[in-house]
Amino acid sequence: MDALHYAKQLVQFDTISSKSNVDISDYIQDVLAKFGFRIERLEYDDEFGVRKACVVAKRGAGLGGMAYFAHTDVVPADDWSMADNGPFEPTVHGDRLYGRGSCDMKGSLACALAAAERHANDDLANPLYITCTSDEEIGYGGAKNVAARSELYREMADGGSRVVIGEPTMLDVVHAHKGTYGFRAVSRGQSAHSSTPYGCNANLAMIPFLVEMKRIHDEAENNVEWQNAEFTPPSISWNIGVNDHTAAINIKPPNSICTVYYRPMPGQDGRKFFELAEQAATECGIEIELQRACDALYTDPNSDYVREILALAERESSRTVAYGTDGGVFTDLDNIVVIGPGSIEQAHTADEWIAVEQLELGEELYAKLIEAWCVRDDVGDDVRDDVGGGA
């Protein structure tokens, strides 16, 4: 089976993050078992009691080799507009495969499955790991479970596996991405008609807090000490949201909510930014809760590993991206890059798609990496010699 076939199969599963991903995990587990993988399955209930599953699989003995990571959840498809097929009815129009998750990132996983099938009958000199997580889109819950509970993940870390996070990069090599942090601040008041002396307008405590959030925003945008020129944009993108949910303008709102989402960069402690907001919340007498925290990813672009994968991917240099991935959770892994088919510009769009050519190229590249790192055991030294690397 080729990557397009597997992509169609995967897209058919409705795996919006609010729903269970057990069915698609069953499918992936069955496919990998047919290829001779040993399966480690990690299940848990999310904060809403929805059952989720992560699949961690290994084929081959020993340590090292290649470790590929994907997530199976997708963003909602409420804005899907195509009349002739729904978001979970994968359809090829021209040179594109349409469907929710086709780009982010079931297309990439399809390439990995097709590449693994190509080598299913090969004896492996080094192991091949494939990991599929849940809840990447809403807080990296699956990745956190894998990092905390998986014995195979510990093998990858201890054995120095070469790690590929398969998020869409148009098959460019990405050596760094930003982290993702989000918090929610709530001011509590008491509802009443605005003409009366009763009640308490929750916005009165929220307003000075918002002033401090605006000050942090301006500092992040204007102070070069808070910035990193390796990224576009070079700031932490301090994004402020406000809502008091009042139904009419003559009601004193009982609650006022501020949300902030920001993206710390390598070398920055994301919790320090939250601590600034936490101090402001305490001074203003409002509640605050950190809801998401994932660190930035950084691998030295001059490292042997990055130089090695650049040579295999036939790219001259690596780059950075502003979005986050499960890779920010997998801090125990040393040799890690992001590289996958499709463009991030198609991810999360109303009528999401991936170019069929990208699926074909992604399958070829992943098969090449498996050949280099798992089937053979000497190619790392060969490639490093070719690019002038090595210790």
Strands of the sheet with 239-243, listed across from one edge: 239-243, 255-262, 180-188, 287-294
Instruction: Please report, as a single letter, which amino acid is at residue 351.
Output: D
Nearest Cα to Cα of residue 109 among 368, 340, 353, 325: 340
Q: How far apart are CA 174 and CA 365, in angstroms?
A: 15
pLDDT in tens, 98-115: 999 999 999 999 999 999
pLDDT(390) > 70: no
pLDDT at position 1, please? 83
Average pLDDT over residues 140-160: 97
Q: Exposed/middle/buried for 152, CB within 10 Å: 0-12, 13-18, 19+?
A: buried
Q: How far apart are CA 115 and CA 340, in angstroms?
A: 13
Q: How far apart are CA 63 and CA 91, in angstroms?
A: 40
pLDDT in tens, 315-341: 999 999 999 999 999 999 999 999 999
Instruction: Please report, as a single letter, which amino acid is at residue 194.
Output: S
pLDDT in tens, 268-316: 999 999 999 999 999 999 999 999 999 999 999 999 999 999 999 999 9
Confidence of residue 376 (pLDDT cuts 50, 70, 90): confident
pLDDT in tens, 187-210: 999 999 999 999 999 999 999 999
Instruction: Please report, as a single letter, which amino acid is at residue 336.
Output: I
Confidence of residue 350 (pLDDT cuts 50, 70, 90): very high
Question: What is the number of H-type helices and E-type strands within the chain?
Answer: 10, 18
Query: Strand 174-177 vs strand 319-321: parallel, antiparallel, or unpaired?
Result: parallel
Confidence of residue 391 (pLDDT cuts 50, 70, 90): very low
pLDDT at position 379, please? 53
Copy the structure tokens of residue 141: 């819950």
pLDDT(354) > 50: yes
Three-class DSSP category at 262:
strand
Average pLDDT over residues 353-380: 92
Neighbours of 23 (CB within 10 A): 15
pLDDT at position 389, please? 38
pLDDT at position 150, please? 98
Share of the chain above pLDDT 90, in %: 95
pLDDT at position 51, please? 98
Mean pLDDT of the residues in the chain: 95
pLDDT in tens, 220-269: 999 999 999 999 999 999 999 999 999 899 999 999 999 999 999 999 99
CA-based Rg of the chain, rounded to a whole angstrom? Answer: 23
H/E element, 319: strand 319-321
Average pLDDT over residues 53-80: 97
- Domains in the chain (CATH in brackets) are 3-177+296-387 (3.40.630.10), 180-294 (3.30.70.360)
Phi-psi region of 170 (alpha: psi -120 to 50; beta: other; left: phi over 0): left
pLDDT at position 247, please? 87
pLDDT(39) > 80: yes
Confidence of residue 378 (pLDDT cuts 50, 70, 90): low
Cβ contact 23:30 at 8 Å: no
Q: Exposed/middle/buried for 79, CB within 10 Å: 0-12, 13-18, 19+?
A: exposed
CA 37 to the chain's CA centroid: 24
